Amino acid sequence: MKQIALYGKGGIGKSTTSANLSAALSDQGLDILQIGCDPKRDSTRMLMNGRLIPTVMDLVRERGDRNISIEDVVFRGYGGVRCVEAGGPEPGVGCAGRGIIATFQILEKLGALQADVVLYDVLGDVVCGGFAMPMREGYAQEVYLVTSGELMSLYAANNICKAIARLSTRARSRCRLAGVICNAKNMPREKELVEEFAERINSRMIQFIPRDRIVQVSELNKKTVIEFASESTQAEAYRNLARKVMENTRMDIPTPLEIEDLESLAYEYIKE
């Protein structure tokens, strides 16, 4: 069983990447479980043809954690992908990270954390204790950073590297950095910048995903690119990512950059 997590800056395209990766993996005949770890609960929406499924935390508030069955929280989407949304507290109240902790405990109790690939789609702007739980408690063993060539996206990815490096010393944590995914913004020399960033943090860019209007068109039709435009070059990029993820055996402890070095790196590519 592969247990992978996608982390990155909010709005960078983690959920789009996660959903299309899950769809591509399911087309390989694999049993996939995708868990959305963001209070917005939109990680699995395109796998569910636009449906926002009930979240674990909403059900806990309504029924209590002892009155929840696996059928209440696990839903089958495109290609048989099993979809879960952790959810979070009411806006302005409580800690969303604690919602993730509670969700994992419930899923474990229900025996739901079993699949060929378990994919965690995790909010990455703030790596607090709750959001770091997939890494900290050994749920996610392979972490992929989703970033573009924008400075703040690289900044968030670099911060996540700090968390991975710190957690790699913990006995219960088995997480390692498996690679960097460039979800492009069509910046000049963006691919080269992200490739160098990945090398500088002791990793590699595993896949470059170009920016393409077909992503927005697919989502307006409430589908992943894999389902809506399966013959497109964009779908092929997601299939390449799926193949590389399954073949990947390289796992590294990252070496995060100092902020001054990160800014200097970005400046070298942006100034030209």
Return the structure tokens found at 195: 């490739």
- The yes-or-no answer on residue 109 being catalytic is no
State the Cα angle at 251 between 4 and 259, rounded to 5°.
95
User: How many Å apart are CA 272 and CA 268, to the nearest integer?
Assistant: 7
CA 38: distance to chain centroid? 10
- Of the listed 31, 40, 65, 244, which one is catalytic? 40
- Of the listed 2, 14, 38, 212, which one is catalytic? 14
Q: Give the single-character DSSP code of 223.
A: S
Residue 174 in contact with residue 141, Cβ under 8 Å?
yes
Q: Give the single-character DSSP code of 202.
A: T
Q: Which residue in 43, 51, 39, 34 sits closest to 112, CA to CA? A: 34
Return the structure tokens found at 76: 């089958």
- Of the listed 42, 72, 125, 162, which one is catalytic? 125
Single-letter amino acid, residue 51: R
* β-strands 32-37, 117-123 pairing: parallel
- The yes-or-no answer on residue 244 being catalytic is no
Number of residues assigned to the chain: 272
CA dihedral in degrees (175, 197, 190, 151; nearest 10)?
A: 90
Q: Give the single-character DSSP code of 252.
A: B
- Of the listed 9, 38, 121, 223, which one is catalytic? 9
Catalytically annotated residues: 9, 14, 40, 125
